[in-house]
Structure 1
């Protein structure tokens, strides 16, 4: 490492809670890997065990004070991450088949004994959500968001660019990344964490949908800053706002960081403004405000996970290389955060 880049950390204008469950689920995590993730290579399995993905749930739903209302989110965070890592460079037809089977299981179909264990994790998650009081309309909502927003509009739109090393325009990049980051279905997890399934007429309201989209783009940009060291070392990885701004605007790295953070902060300001001016959602105004509060905690909580959890996911040799990927092919640049 003979170069060093200085990279800013995002900051948020609200207080972030600390979950009592951070670091509490490592035994469960190891059991899940041992039982249901054996389709991964031994090297990938070893790397996942160092990522502390199981702490994503506690960091992102820190207001939840009951174990079961956090554990379901930790399970989801792991199989969502594995879905992305495993599928991102597969042929589109294979991703589509994987996606369709995921949807069937999330909608209640039983995994077959010979299928990948990840489907059992999804089946267990569905049972957890039902036990936490989630109705059929919510179960269908998260299944559709996983299938269409995360996989179809996200992973499947992003994958051809990664394979061809194509360069998307920045407006399209924001939309694809908002989906591929997986936060649209992750926001759905607020409902089993609070015990209240937000009704469709509120969830589909223009303001709520814009807030959810803003959260997803903000988290995607947040991820770009946290992972830039890894992504500079992967030749096929262009889906990062800093790298794209350098390419499209012909500017040096530090200027791209400043511009990327300006875009991030502008979106945060819009998010806060809309959050402070919600429509009247009576008789569920209190529940809707709690939903927005949980979204805020998701944004800043995940930011804390990147820098405070001890994850090895973005360190050299820490990322699980997808089946058709080459991993890091360029020497690492040292990243100093400020």
Structure 2
């Protein structure tokens, strides 16, 4: 391998806002970790404290003017990330049990004494959403999206490939990753942020569902470019578009980067086209357009978080290894993003 690989950064054709809350929520993060994440190993906990996950909310919902309308999103981002890291290499039956208990708590069941603290974070999140005006239909939608899209169709479909080291076909990879990246439930956090729960007849419309799927695939590809240094060093990690293109298409690393970015940019073009040609959603046209605007901010804001937040998540020794994982097993290649 070369000593250094050059990797492009995605760019987006809209302006991204900057949140005044970025870098100001460290106290909240410390309290959450100290109270509810002590079930993690000391090493994992030390790594999470360097990841700057607390800034995911400010970067992804930069238009929120009130602290409460950002805190709920950053709380969610942390426990969603821990869910993925904690469960991804567990046996499927154990993931299913964890998933089912998550669903119960997100639907309103109280965490039991002795259960791991992540459930208390999920309960706190539900209370935040109710305080921000979210109705029962939205709370149920969020719980179902977390259970079925993120865990069942995402983590549980991805895990067997990581354990067996089999290589998924690229079309299937896009669908699994769109779920496992967690953006299908995350996008609904726009609703408590703005104070408007998008009605089911709008949310379930074909165009809106396609826009949501596009943002999820786009963010997954964005993640692949940002994290490729880590994933080249993990032998079992093939869920990265660059590695898959190299394998399936017999491409060099540079060729795979160019092709991966072409796929990304093509999806962004479709996303913009659909965003500019929304159906008539009266009497909620303005609210729907605001929802789409916030999706755009989520996409480009997360991209900025990778490169501007100071996260150590994707640096050597920065990733929390799953209970059954081995972490980095190969020598790191230096990555230069441009």
1:73-108 Cα offsets, whole Å, 9 max, x none, are 010000000000000000000000000000000000
1:321 counterpart residue number: 321
2:159 counterpart residue number: 159
* 1:149 maps to 2:146: no
Write the mapping of 1:182-197 to structure 2, written as runs, cut at 5 A. 182-197=182-197
2:268 counterpart residue number: 268
2:230 counterpart residue number: 230
1:217 counterpart residue number: 217
* Displacement of 1:64: 0.6
SS of the residue 1:260 aligns to: helix
Write the mapping of 1:1-80 to structure 2, written as runs, cut at 5 A. 3-80=3-80
* Displacement of 1:113: 1.3
SS of the residue 1:50 aligns to: coil
1:210-237 Cα offsets, whole Å, 9 max, x none, are 0000000000000000000000000010
2:172 counterpart residue number: 172
SS of the residue 2:336 aligns to: strand
2:139 counterpart residue number: 139
1:305 counterpart residue number: 305
* Displacement of 1:253: 0.2
In structure 1, C-alpha distance between the alignment counterparts of 2:175 and 2:145, rounded to whole Å = 14
Unaligned runs of 5+ in 1: none
* 1:125 maps to 2:125: yes
- RMSD between aligned residues: 0.7
* Displacement of 1:24: 1.1
Unaligned runs of 5+ in 2: none
2:105 counterpart residue number: 105
In structure 1, C-alpha distance between the alignment counterparts of 2:285 and 2:192, rounded to whole Å = 18
1:93 counterpart residue number: 93
In structure 2, C-alpha distance between the alignment counterparts of 1:188 and 1:110, rounded to whole Å = 23
* Displacement of 1:248: 0.2
* Displacement of 1:272: 0.1
1:225-256 Cα offsets, whole Å, 9 max, x none, are 00000000000100000000000000100000
* Displacement of 1:199: 0.1
* Displacement of 1:2: 6.6
In structure 1, C-alpha distance between the alignment counterparts of 2:179 and 2:166, rounded to whole Å = 18
1:247-294 Cα offsets, whole Å, 9 max, x none, are 000010000000000000000000000000000000000000000000
In structure 2, C-alpha distance between the alignment counterparts of 1:175 and 1:15, rounded to whole Å = 28
Q: How many residues align?
A: 338
* Displacement of 1:40: 0.1
SS of the residue 2:49 aligns to: helix
In structure 2, C-alpha distance between the alignment counterparts of 1:174 and 1:292, rounded to whole Å = 22
In structure 2, C-alpha distance between the alignment counterparts of 1:24 and 1:117, rounded to whole Å = 24
1:170-219 Cα offsets, whole Å, 9 max, x none, are 00000000000000000010000000000000000000000000000000
In structure 2, C-alpha distance between the alignment counterparts of 1:186 and 1:251, rounded to whole Å = 33
TM-score by length of 2: 0.99
SS of the residue 1:94 aligns to: helix
> Which stretches of structure 1, 4 residues or longer, exceed 3 Å deviation after superposition?
none
* Displacement of 1:125: 0.2
In structure 2, C-alpha distance between the alignment counterparts of 1:64 and 1:146, rounded to whole Å = 23
